A and B are shown apart, each in its own frame.
Chain A
Amino acid sequence: MARRKPEDDVLGKRGLARFDFCIIGSGAGGGTAAHVLTAAGKNVLVLEAGPNPFPGLDDSAGLPLPLHSNDELKYSLRSFVQQDGFLEPRTFRGDPAGPAAVNEDVNVLPRAVGGAFQHADAKTPRFNAVDFRLKSTIDALIAANPGLMVPGFNDPMSPVANFADWPFTYADLEPFYVEAERLYGVQGKQGDNIFESARSQPYPMPPGVPMYFALLLADGARQVTLPGFGTLNPHAYPAAINSRFYDDRPPCVDCGLCSGFGCPNNSKGSPAVTTLRRALLTGRCQLRFNAQACRLVHDGGHVSGVEYIDGAGRRQSVTADAFMLAASPIESARLCLLSPAPGGAVLGNSSGQLGQNLMFHYQSNVNGFLPRRVHGQRGRAVTHGISDFRGVDPGGETIRLFSGNTRVFLGGICEFGASQGQPISEDGSVYAIRLPVFRGFRARSGTTLKNALRDGALGQHLFGLTMQAEDAPQRTNFVDLDPTYKDVYGLPVPRVTYMPHAYEVAAREFYVPLMMQIVHNAGAPEEKIFLTPTDQQQGAAPSSRHIMGTLRMGNDPGTSVTSGDRPGKKLGQFHDVDNLYACDGSVFPTSAGYNPTLTIIAVALKIAHGIAGTPPETG
């Protein structure tokens, strides 16, 4: 096979001579920033470490169909766009004093043109208004309620977490949420979720067809009472998935292979087919893929260039006036760590918190086996959910107090889900390889295995809900460089040190019994309901795929890595490096209890518009 040449690995304008910005990462953060900056007349270079599943993405005649397909082997088993654990392992440890073990999947995300969101089922709820001032709100509640005990705040039984307010409010961000929902094409139903904070505009599209098991779970939830606050409020789940012809892309056909798969017909509003394509069509954007950034060249306070390894394995370098990190929190922090200053200090780490405050949502997953087949292979993975377990009041402005004003339980949104009917990865290999012997029963091979497969014991009957609970920021949850293991590029791999704390565990213990009631009401017999053990209980690395923190933004250079909007500094700009920005989930001070991507997009819009001096496009 002919070797690829670097010039093959380019989308967009090839002849650009100089770049105002170099963005590292082409996903929700980087693609969004590229769109805003090029629309404002800037020349932008985007470096993407992964391959390109969107040939012809820069074709001005029309958006071609991608290489994505309904193919379980390609996605669930062969890592077509997922980060590969052999090529790029990570190491993980729960105990910061202990050794880290190599682990092929420490919350790895896809690396490909368009980033990780193309692999998600594109759920796009907003954060609540109170999420942007959670610390000051809880501090005030503690001051006003003498009996109130909050883990991570004033509970003597748990260490104090590192909460901080965001450097802007929900009202400041709301126009950018509107722009994000319009750019990415979000479906949803205004007023359906009573906990959603105030919207200035309706959803661009109505919800698509509901999934059968989701309707059962919604009915089940309506019969469950949250103590002191009445029955639960199921709602349509907002998603960046077309339910109509929108933005020259077709409606979703509910093909089913959605979570963990790229979209074959471009109805999923992922970054490649929305913002990145817009940027490429301006003639001011060049995207180099198969380009693994490996070092920022700098003098401590100013970045002059970036070195990367191209698709042929050669080391290249490129210069730009300014640089923007958008490689996702673990990789964005890692690039700083791979770029020590001449004296050895980590780039951008005058606060001492770079790489820290790493947050993953703390997922609780309650499942049941429904006697009828759930046929989760038809639909877009998740069509409904509940937000009652976020623990806020309707409107999302204030926090609920439980148990006579002595407790708060800040969990998160719950997705109603089911097996997607993948016979190899969700059924067969679970029965035959993952399950132990129980009472002499084993479905290892033979007629037993075949019978279980034909009935879809798991793949046609498993359904339930997953709570995406807030993960409290901790300085002791962090990423640094592993001292021993290398990736295929010869670079030290990221080492993740993480353990959950009392804040999120308390919410899990409070809400799980209610989650079990929902699954029971939806039709699962009591003996067919179970709580999936947490990653920690299983001795596994975190696997929520929701990754935030490491380059926290704030107005105090002593306690944050990137800046708020303050005199002399722009939002997202490093406090101590004059031409370096971050615009991915790494800047989040807290993780809230909602899927993060819409907020990543809205924050990237706010950061990029702040740099460009342009207003959000709200229609």
Chain B
Amino acid sequence: MPKLKLPRTLPGPAEPLAPEPPPPSTLLLGRREFLKGLGVVLAALAAPVTGARRAYAAARGRFFTGHEFATLSALCDRVIPPDRDPGARALGAAHYIERMLTAFDHRVPLVFAGGPFSNRNPFPDNDDGTPSRRRPKDAFRHFIPLTRVQEIRWRAELFGSAKVRGADFNDALLGPLTGLRTIYRQSLRQVDQTARAMHGKAFVRLEPAEQDAIFALLDSGPASVRFKADRRRGVTFIDLLIQHTLEGCFGPPEYGGNRRLRGWTMLGLEGDDQPLGYSIFSRAKDGYNERPDHPMSTPNPDELSGPRPISADANSVQDTIIAFTRIFGSG
């Protein structure tokens, strides 16, 4: 079964889905003229960085300054904020991102975690079809060496195609691939500049509601203020930040996020479940046992008598997907 495929852009001639939402955060920002002026202020602030300010941590595995890391953590918390469950900061999303950006600080770059098993689940006992007490060694911890071309690919991703030998083969036609390290460093500076222009304070010193407003402005504010889509990647910094925050919250913890598996716990997911799995073959009965707490062929235990209601937000996501597909017609 292929994944649900949704287009990245709307089809040309189709009607717009709905009226545009009101401009974000008008309450906090005030008049439209202010937004226009903000672009000018930002351009003035984008001065070259001095050597003194470039006191980046040189330690292995470190890329961000303390201030950058705090700014990034605050941004991640705008994507997945804390509530009854942990937010992205507590889940280690910023740590995940830094680990990705410093993948090549390690003898074996931290790109592909090893396999086949973590040690989070036991082996099955196939004599009687139950979980055994034996657990595998944690192979996820041992990352897999990259091939020559994989190294070109991931170095280009992090450092930029123009800076990696053998990675610029389509740059003349498509433009160079900007490295994620450059994108993060410059974009975090732009976030702070916007915060200072609006509130006279660094982003991390603002209240969550003010941070949300700046996040929205940088995402979908006027063209002079919001992040522009990278030419080669076709996405903005906010797109990348959201994507990487999700990865840091819900990926395997060996990549640096999903602390104490609380990302998976929050979603009610079991995470990687090998080698036990969900159906345990029993030689004794020449058939399978299912796990009662995690059934495969029957509804979840808490939904035997009826579906568990979903939130209005989840319902709206479903309806948006349906409305989106319908503009393509039913043919």
* Assembly CA distance A70 to B147 (angstroms): 21
In the complex, what distance in Å separates the CA atom of A437 from the CA atom of B114? 39
Would you call A441 and B11 a contact (CB within 8 A)? no
Q: Is the interface of A mostly helix, strand, loop or mixed?
A: loop
Set of chain A residues within 8 Å of B115, measured between Cβ atoms: 53, 65-69, 71, 262, 264
Which residues of chain B have C-beta atoms less than 8 A from A432's C-beta? 79, 242-243, 246
Tell whether A461 is near chain B: CB-to-CB under 8 Å. yes
Contact at B278–A378, with CB atoms within 8 Å? yes
Question: Contact between A488 and B288 (Cβ–Cβ < 8 Å)?
Answer: no
Q: Are B318 and A208 in contact (CB under 8 A)?
A: no
Asked if A313 contacts B148 (CB within 8 A), the reply is yes
Does B52 count as interface, using CB distance less than 8 angstroms? no
- Let me know if B297 and A208 touch, CB within 8 A: no
Q: Closest CB-CB distance, A310 to chain B, in whole Å?
A: 9
Q: Which of B8, B146, B212, B315 has the most chain A CB atoms closer than 10 A to its own CB?
A: B315
Tell whether A300 is near chain B: CB-to-CB under 8 Å: no
Give the complex CA separation of A428 and B76 in angstroms. Answer: 14
A377 and B269 form a contact (CB under 8 A): yes
Contact with A along B1-23 (1 / 0, CB 8 A): 11111111111000001111110
- Measured CA separation A74–B280 after assembly (Å): 26
Q: How far is the CA of A450 from the CA of B313 in the complex (A)?
A: 9
Give the B interface residue count (CB, 8 A).
Answer: 122
Interface membership of A16, Cβ < 8 A: no
Q: Is B261 an interface residue (CB 8 A)?
A: no
A425 interface residue per 8 A CB criterion = yes
Do B148 and A530 touch across chains, with their CB atoms under 8 A apart? no
B2 and A545 contacting across the interface, CB-CB below 8 Å: yes
Neighbouring B residues of A209 by C-beta, 8 Å? 278-279, 288, 290, 296-297
B147 touching A51, Cβ below 8 Å? yes
- Whether B4 pairs with A451 at a CB distance below 8 angstroms is no
The reply to whether the CB of A202 lies closer than 8 angstroms to some CB of chain B is no
The CA of A195 and the CA of B20, in the complex, are separated in Å by: 51
- Cβ distance B284 to chain A, nearest Cβ, rounded Å: 13
The answer to whether A265 and B268 have CB atoms under 8 Å apart is no
Interface string of A417-449 (1 = CB under 8 A from B): 111010111101111111111111111111111
B81 near A311 with CB under 8 A, answer no
Select the stretch in A79-87, A268-276, A327-335 that faces chain B.
Answer: A79-87
Query: Which residue, of B9, B126, B169, B312, has the highest number of chain A Cβ atoms within 10 A?
Result: B169
Q: How many angstroms from the CA of A550 to the CA of B93 in the assembled complex?
A: 46
Asked if B296 and A532 sit within 8 Å, CB to CB, the answer is: no
Give chain A residues whose Cβ lies under 8 Å from the Cβ of B22. 440
Does B113 make an interface contact (CB < 8 A)?
A: yes
CA distance A84 to B271 in the complex (A): 25
In the assembled complex, the CB of A374 is this many whole angstroms from the nearest CB of chain B, namely: 9
Identify which of residues 179-212 in chain A touch chain B, using a CB-to-CB cut-off of 8 Å: 208-212
Say which residue of A210, A265, A532 sits within 8 Å of B325 (CB atoms): A532
CA distance A365 to B325 in the complex (A): 11
Q: In whole angstroms, how far apart are the Cα atoms of A178 and B278 in the complex?
A: 30
Interface residues in A480-513 by Cβ distance below 8 A to B read 484-488, 490, 505, 508-509, 512
User: CB distance A452 to B21 under 8 Å?
Assistant: no
Output the nearest chain B residue to A531 by Cβ-Cβ distance: B330
Chain B interface residues (CB < 8 Å from chain A): 1-11, 17-22, 78-81, 83, 85, 107-109, 111-118, 124, 126, 139-140, 144-150, 152-153, 156-157, 166-167, 169-170, 173-174, 177, 212, 215, 219, 235, 239, 242-243, 246-247, 250-252, 255, 263-264, 266-281, 286, 288, 290, 294-300, 303, 306-308, 310-326, 328-331
